[in-house]
Amino acid sequence: MISESESESDEDQQGLEKPKNEEVEPGSPKDESRTFLPTDVILKVEGRLFYLNRKRLAENSPFFKTMFESDFEEKHAEVITLHGKKFKEFEMFLFSFYFPENIRPIKGKI
The domains located in the chain, with CATH, are 32-99 (3.30.710.10)
Q: Identify the three-state secondary structure at position 49.
A: strand
pTM equals: 0.61
The pLDDT score that the predictor gives to residue 95 is 87
pLDDT at residue 7 tops 50: no
Residues 82-102 pLDDT 10s: 999 999 999 989 988 888 776
Q: Looking at per-residue confidence, does 97 or 62 come out higher? A: 62
The pLDDT score that the predictor gives to residue 101 is 74
pLDDT at residue 8 tops 90: no
The pLDDT score that the predictor gives to residue 105 is 67
The pLDDT score that the predictor gives to residue 52 is 93
pLDDT at residue 30 tops 80: no
Q: Identify the three-state secondary structure at position 66.
A: helix
56-to-1, 4, 22 alpha-carbon distances in Å: 31, 26, 25
Q: Identify the three-state secondary structure at position 63.
A: helix
